[in-house]
Amino acid sequence: TFDAITPDEKGNMLFFKGSHLWTGYRGPAQPSNESFKELDDLHNIGHVDAAFRMHNPENPDDHDHIYFFQDDKMFSYYNHTLEDGYPKEIQEDFPGIPTHLDAAVECPKGECIADSVLFFKGNDVHVYDVSTKTVKTKTWSHLPVCTSATRWLEHYYCFHGHNFTRFHPVSGEVSGDYPKDARRYFMTCPNFGHGGHYKVRKCSEAKIDAIATDDAGKSYIFAGPIYMRLDTHRDGLHAFPITKAWKEVTSGVDAVFFYTNKIYLIKGDQVYIYKTAAHYTLIEGYPKTLKEELGIEGHVDAAFVCPNEHTVHVIQGQTMRAVDLTATPRAETQVVPMPLSDIDAARCSAEGIHLFKGSQYYNYESPMMLALSKIAPVPQNITKAMIGCEE
């Protein structure tokens, strides 16, 4: 049972139990007061009742600060440093919120009606509006009493015992097969697992199979049998089996790209196309062969579509082929040689084109500049910000 769970300002998940905390999803516990020494200064409580990371982008003085609650007191930290004037009585910053809380979790506007914090005590949920400083109290008796709660990858989780239940932050509705065992999902325990055994590589050893960003700005990397969301670095990075989202793709990918709210996954001579709605759904009749879908044959090293464009650029060895995605049937419209070979992955964004090869990448301004290039540019080293590797 955890007393509190929260990400810090860098996206590292903190799990509190008694006087100890775990940082991240693996590794040993350490005394909480080694990281947040003032938590034990006042009355040596030795535990945290609740914790959350503030989401308030309109107020930089509060945004991304970590709040801890002990009995009737609260602490505000930023970069593991206690803010001036803290600890305070809970009512000073959060009028209308009770003491001796069970759990708390932030809820950004868009997921809640306004930027809010959900405070849990028993079956009552006190919804605190960050802007208006008003509270609405709801009773969610269908939800287990939460000993901790957290938001992760745009979903909300109530932890109770070693189980967790996912709930909707506005209605409290629980959909799906819950509760589930947290040991299979949120931490690494012997004889349990859910993809969390994957170890993030050092940037100097990085090698990816594909990288792509969808129309909503969600960014993914693929490496071997796993994938990771990159745009959720504020929630930490976590590896999942590719088959968790795209169950028919059982042996990794060669290339991935998004187009018109669909994701295209290429493996061998097969193309899988899924709708990118709430849950990825394989379109009827797929997979199809590369020849049927894109009018090309042979092994694909990488593929990319630039924002607001309707052409997929497919890299095969030292050749780049352009395929018009609006044409029926689809067929290549341009074939150009490249000054590079053995490309692992490619992505096109507002920053240009990145071609990934091992632990380095090559940057081009546009597909035209890549097509006209006769000499490869100087390679640059992959960074943590790009693919979530460890420096």
Q: What is the tens place of the pLDDT at every residue in 218-258? A: 889 999 988 988 776 566 666 788 998 899 999 899 999 99
What pLDDT score does 193 carry? 57
Element (DSSP H or E) covering residue 318 = none
Distances (CA, A) of 202 to 199, 206, 241, 383: 9, 6, 20, 10
CA distances from 54 to 22, 130, 262 (A): 20, 9, 33
How does DSSP assign 337-353, residue by residue?
E-S-----EEEEETTEE
Q: Closest by alpha carbon to 354, among 208, 237, 202, 252?
A: 208
Cα dihedral sign, 163-169-170-176: negative
- Residue 372 and residue 291: Cα distance in Å, rounded? 26
Residues of the chain with pLDDT under 70: 26, 40-46, 188-200, 232-238, 278
Q: What is the DSSP letter of 37?
A: G
Residues linked to residue 100 through DSSP beta bridges, in sequence order: none
Q: Tokens 């709660």 correspond to what residue? A: 149
State residue 233's pLDDT score.
Answer: 57
pTM of the model: 0.64
Q: Do the beta carbons of residue 287 and residue 253 sit within 8 Å?
A: no
Order of all β-strands in the sheet with 360-364: 345-349, 352-357, 360-364, 380-381
Tracing tokens 């692992």 back to the chain, one arrives at 344
- Residue 245's contacts (CB-CB under 8 Å, 6 or more residues apart) are 227, 280
| Count of residues in the chain | 391
- Write the CA distances from 98 to 50, 101, 350, integer angstroms: 12, 7, 47
